[in-house]
Amino acid sequence: MRKLLNTYKPPKKQVKIENSYKIVISQDFTGLCNQLWSVISGIIICIKDGKRILLIDKFLLNVHTNSYCSIGKILCLPSMNRFLQKYNIVLVDDGHINERNTPGLKVLRLGWEVIQDPVNNAIKTELFQSIRFVPSIVAPALKFVNDSQNNQKKGTINVIHLRIEQDWLDHALIHRKPKASPDVIYNEIANNYIDLICRHIQKDESTFILTGSSNNKVIDYLRNNQYTYFLFPKITPYREVNAAMDMVIGKTCNNVFIGCGGSSFSDILLHRITGDNIQKYLC
């Protein structure tokens, strides 16, 4: 009996297609933020079209891989659905739906057109702030922040999204006009960060660095000049789960946020970090 109870799976639900859309959020190259953009875009389309249910397809755990999980292991759908009651919309993990009984269900595959439409700016900001991650993502991130703050005299929390990984340098190199060498691009980006740090962050304030690269000129500057900074370790083998934990840390910012212009991660944090006295800067 115990074995049967442990292996039992509830039957998959059915939905009425006239009230529903499904959204595919992952492609080969889509990281955390592009997938979140797709979810938010799907919600906006549902609001405008009067749909009550948004089925969300699987989540890509690592870019350029076939590592997936259900969206319910990333987003806390019950919490988000409580917020979305005002719009009469429910988010549903598509893995819980029997799609054989939903022929004709409209599937959305959205790019950036909805999220970047100025008409949607207000609702986009509200929905970005409504994003909630599951406790297994939130708890380790908040514990790291709380533990780091235990011995600090100030309650100030600064956050730097340090986008200086090789893929971003390659992206900047391709789009740079006039053309420049890789070393010039790297030094320009690093020096922009260092300049903002010098002007806006005090050495005795806690500064959390969100980055995929801890070996760079900016980290060297912080260390050599004795800034109080913290790097959250990558505690899972999944890049996008680690990014979600970084986003939880980022939202705790209560003083200065330094991000990367053109980065989807920084863009979402700009909307999620709230407070009248917070200073926000982009490199």
The 3-state secondary structure of 64-125 reads: CCCCEECHHHCECHHHHHHHHHHHCCEEEEHHHECHHHCCCCEEECCCCCCCCCHHHHHHHH
Domain 135-282 is found in CATH 3.40.50.11350 = yes
DSSP letter at 12 equals: P
For the chain, what percent of residues have pLDDT higher than 70?
Answer: 92
pLDDT confidence of residue 1: 41
Q: Which residues of 97-120 are buried (b: 16+ CB within 10 A; e: fewer)?
A: beeeeeeebeebebeeebbeeeeb
Nearest-angstrom CA–CA distance, 92 and 97: 8
Helix 264-272, helix 121-130: angle, nearest 10: 80
More confident: 43 or 95: 43
User: For the purposes of burial, counting CB atoms within 10 Å of the CB of 280, is it exposed (0-12), middle (13-18) or buried (19 or more)?
Assistant: middle
Mean pLDDT on 236-241: 97
pLDDT confidence of residue 4: 40
DSSP letter at 181 equals: -
In the block, residue with structure tokens 């235990």? 150
Nearest-angstrom CA–CA distance, 22 and 25: 10
Residue 210 CB: number of other CB atoms within 10 A? Answer: 22
In the block, residue with structure tokens 């407070």? 275
pLDDT confidence of residue 8: 41
DSSP-based helix, strand, coil % in the chain, nearest 5? 45, 15, 35
CA atoms within 13 A on the CB side of 110: 27
Tens digits of residue pLDDT in 186-230 = 999 999 999 999 999 999 999 999 999 899 999 999 999 999 999
CB 51 within 8 A of CB 20: yes
pLDDT confidence of residue 188: 94
Tens digits of residue pLDDT in 117-164 = 999 999 999 999 999 999 999 999 999 999 999 988 889 999 999 999
